[in-house]
Amino acid sequence: MGGIDWAIGRGARPMVVIDEAAKQRDEPTPHGKIGMSTAWRITDGVPGRMMEYRKRSLHPGSAIGVHPIEHDEVYAVVSGEGEVVSDGATARLRPGMTAYLYTGAQVGIRQTGTAPLVLIISYPLEKVPQK
């Protein structure tokens, strides 16, 4: 099953392959602009997507400021070290660790150490598109 089948109401949409290099940009961190980061908004522009999937590198000394979330979020550490906060509770993160954050929490994450903190961040979109 593929694109033709989906177009006539059978099967799944065709896959989308994304070149991360085309999605990369340097920008201040979200939620407070606490330092600089490199952002890869990987799924931006994917037609009919139902989730957000991003990569972000927090440069040394930077942080995503504490902010409320209206959906569950996942922060998976690719490299570097950091600290994540959720409703005042703080946990250290290193490569191979993932923080699962729940709807309604006040969350943030900051880079620690000397290397950038590289994360994969994923969450559902609020208004899920339909076929």
User: pLDDT tens for residues 26-46?
Assistant: 999 999 999 999 999 999 999
Specify the pTM: 0.86
Please tell me what DSSP assigns to residue 2. -
Q: How confident is the model at residue 126 (pLDDT cuts 50, 70, 90)?
A: confident
Residue 128 has pLDDT above 90, yes or no: no
29 sits in the region (left: phi over 0; alpha: psi -120 to 50; else beta) called: beta
According to the model, what pLDDT value does residue 14 have?
87
36 sits in the region (left: phi over 0; alpha: psi -120 to 50; else beta) called: beta
User: Token pair for residue 70?
Assistant: 């209206």
Residue 1 has pLDDT above 50, yes or no: no
126 compared with 91, residue with greater pLDDT: 91
According to the model, what pLDDT value does residue 9 have?
67
C-alpha separations of 78 from 8, 90, 114 in Å: 40, 19, 15
According to the model, what pLDDT value does residue 131 have?
46
What would the DSSP string read from start to end of 53-108?
A: EEEEEEPTT-EEEEEE-SS-EEEEEEESEEEEEETTEEEEE-TT-EEEE-TT-EEE
Mean pLDDT of the chain: 91
User: pLDDT tens for residues 61-85?
Assistant: 999 999 999 999 999 999 999 999 9
C-alpha separations of 26 from 56, 103, 105 in Å: 10, 28, 27
